[in-house]
């Protein structure tokens, strides 16, 4: 039984009567929402977000509402009419439209996932540092003679491709080491990254990034070597411990784009 249903069932009415509300439209209206019937057995409950969101039925809806960027943004809860407490998606119409799917990951747990980038929501959303890249470190990787790979990932890409931060962050240090140019960033949330083995953004660059300088995810921190296929090295630390890029990405992206598309097609929206 969802929060809204519990609340309505507890409301005392005149002459001490108690009415149990089972209809999904009544549940929506009881929480000051406007119901709409959709195709595929789905129903929609919608609100105009105001300064007060206490009447929204759960913490997730209240959190999404709190992120509204414009006055009078709209919020939509979409769920099967027969089980209206179990949403398949939540949507916020704001300056843009933000859609969050409620989906089951490979670990059989349910996650809210942003349809725009496939990231678990709310939470961090790291991006691939190259427009095209492949992680060469796999479960069966032979570390013999390559002990350095125990604490870094090798990323492959097309020569001279730009390298971007995996997350926005502030420069902790930068310069040149035995592998080439490097930059280390603090991304907040107890996450840092170090990218090394790079060429400078421009060949004439001799001044490293300034400590404390802010770089967003569209910034260019370096380039790959000028050859057909080149690599650089990435070290990500979370709470002080090295974490493989593939593990961090899987942690923050519980479904891939194919699975998301399949889910959207399944609910026939």
Q: Which residue, among 121, 98, 124, has the nearest Cα to 111 in the 3D structure?
A: 121
Asked if 209 and 215 count as a contact pair (C-beta separation under 8 A), the reply is yes
Give the chain's residues under pLDDT 70.
Answer: 1-22, 51-54, 132-148, 203-207, 268-269
At 233, phi and psi to the nearest 5?
A: -120, 140
State residue 12's pLDDT score: 38
Three-state DSSP class for residue 8: helix
Cα 170 from chain centre: 20
The bridge status of strand 191-198 relative to strand 153-158 is unpaired
State residue 162's pLDDT score: 92
Report the largest interatomic distance among the alpha carbons of the chain, rounded to a whole angstrom. 84
In total, the chain counts a number of residues equal to 269
Q: Which residue, among 165, 171, 174, 159, has the nearest Cα to 229 in the 3D structure?
A: 159
- Could you give the CA distance from residue 75 to residue 51 in angstroms, rounded to a whole number? 13
What is the tally of helices (H) and strands (E) in the chain?
5, 16
Asked if 200 and 232 count as a contact pair (C-beta separation under 8 A), the reply is no
Residue 256 contacts by C-beta under 8 Å, 6 or more apart in sequence?
A: 118
- Record the pTM: 0.75
Asked if 44 and 38 count as a contact pair (C-beta separation under 8 A), the reply is yes
State residue 139's pLDDT score: 54
State residue 13's pLDDT score: 36
State residue 148's pLDDT score: 62
């Amino acid at each position: 039984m969802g929060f809204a249903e519990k609340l309505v069932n507890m409301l005392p009415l005149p002459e001490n009567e108690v009415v149990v509300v089972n209809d999904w439209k009544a549940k929506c209206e009881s929480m000051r929402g406007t119901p709409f019937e959709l195709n595929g057995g789905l129903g929609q409950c919608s609100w105009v977000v105001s300064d007060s969101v206490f009447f929204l039925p759960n913490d997730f809806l209240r959190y999404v509402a709190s992120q509204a960027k414009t006055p009078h943004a709209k919020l939509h809860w979409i769920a099967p009419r027969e089980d209206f407490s179990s949403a398949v998606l939540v949507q916020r119409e704001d300056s843009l439209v933000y859609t969050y799917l409620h989906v089951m990951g490979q670990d059989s747990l349910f996650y809210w996932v942003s349809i725009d980038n496939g990231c678990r929501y709310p939470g961090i959303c790291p991006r691939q540092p190259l427009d095209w890249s492949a992680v060469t470190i796999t479960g069966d990787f032979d570390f013999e003679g390559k002990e350095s790979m125990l604490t870094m990932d090798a990323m492959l890409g097309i020569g001279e491709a730009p390298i971007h931060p995996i997350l926005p962050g502030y420069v902790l240090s930068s310069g040149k080491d035995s592998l080439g140019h490097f930059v280390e960033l603090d991304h907040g949330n107890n996450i840092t990254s170090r990218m090394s083995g790079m060429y400078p953004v421009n060949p004439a660059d001799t001044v490293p990034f300034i400590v404390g300088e802010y770089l967003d995810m569209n910034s260019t921190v370096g380039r790959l070597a000028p050859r057909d296929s080149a690599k650089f090295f990435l070290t990500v630390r979370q709470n002080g411990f090295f974490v493989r890029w593939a593990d961090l990405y899987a942690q923050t992206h519980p479904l891939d784009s194919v699975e998301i598309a399949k889910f959207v097609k399944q609910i026939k929206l």
